[in-house]
Amino acid sequence: MELQASYIQIVALLLFAIGISVTLTRRNVFFVLMGVELALNAVNLSFIGFAKTLPATASVAGQILPLFTIAVAAAEACIGLAIVIMIFKSQESADIDNYSNMKG
């Protein structure tokens, strides 16, 4: 059975939905970050899935973009985690709602 393009999209959609729901519902900052990563990778998957539907010459763009995204996501995760650790140190809490004291 050949892998249908729509199956890939369905998986990507599921992954995205899981990522978003984790981001929105969890209060622990690490889970939130993981949710964001998951949603990001779901988009990558979606890209590749669509690339498969195109002829080989045109599909390259769809395969390169996820590579960029992965690189950027790695950097982002790095910085994001660093920030989270700093905040965690100062707030002594991993609860994301405790971080929202942006009052002047």
Partner 1 sequence: MIPLWLIPLFPIIGTIALTTIALSSSGSKQGPAEGVTGAVAVFFPLLSFVSVLVLSLGMPLEGIRQTLGTWISLPAFQVDIGFLFDGLSRIMLLFVTGITTLIAFYSIGYMRGDKSFARYFAYINLFLFSMIILVLSDSLPLTFLGWEGVGLCSYLLIGFWHADAKNSKAGNKAFIVNRVGDVGFLFGMLCLISIGGSALLSYDYLNAWLLNPVSAEMIGTAMPLLSLAGILFFFGCTGKSAQIPLLTWLPDAMAGPTPVSALIHAATMVTSGVYLLARLSNLLVLIPIVLNVILFVGLLTAFWAAIAGLFQNDIKKVLAYSTISQLGFMFMAAGVAAFDVSIFHVFTHSFFKAALFLGAGAVIHSLTGEQDMRRMGGLIKKMPWTSLVMIFGFLAIIGFPGFAGFWSKDLILEKLYVSGPMGPFLYGGALLTAVITAVYMGRLIIMTFFGKYRGSAEKEAHIHEAPATMLIPMLVLSIGSAFAGFLWAGLIPGAEIFREMLAPVVGAAQAHASSAHAAVHLSPWVFAALGTLAALLGMFIAWKLFMRPMPEAKGDGEPEGFRASWTFAFDTLHKWIAVIPTKAMAWFLDVVINNIILAAQWLTMGIIEILGDGVRSLQVRKVGLQMALSLFGMTLVIALVVIYGGLL
State the minimum distance, in angstroms, from the CB of residue 61 to partner 1. Answer: 22
User: Binding of partner 1 at residue 25 (CB under 8 A)?
Assistant: yes
- The region of 40-48, 60-68, 76-84, 93-101 touching partner 1 under the rule CB under 8 A is 93-101
Binder of partner 1 out of 1, 3, 56, 102 (CB under 8 A):
102
Rounded to whole angstroms, the Cα distance separating 67 from 44 reads 8
Cβ closest to partner 1, residue 34 vs residue 52: 34
Rounded to whole angstroms, the Cα distance separating 24 from 78 reads 21
Closest CA to 44 of 67, 10, 19, 78: 67
What is the DSSP annotation of 27-47? -BHHHHHHHHHHHHHHHHHHH
Residues that bind partner 1 (CB under 8 A): 20, 23-27, 32, 96-103
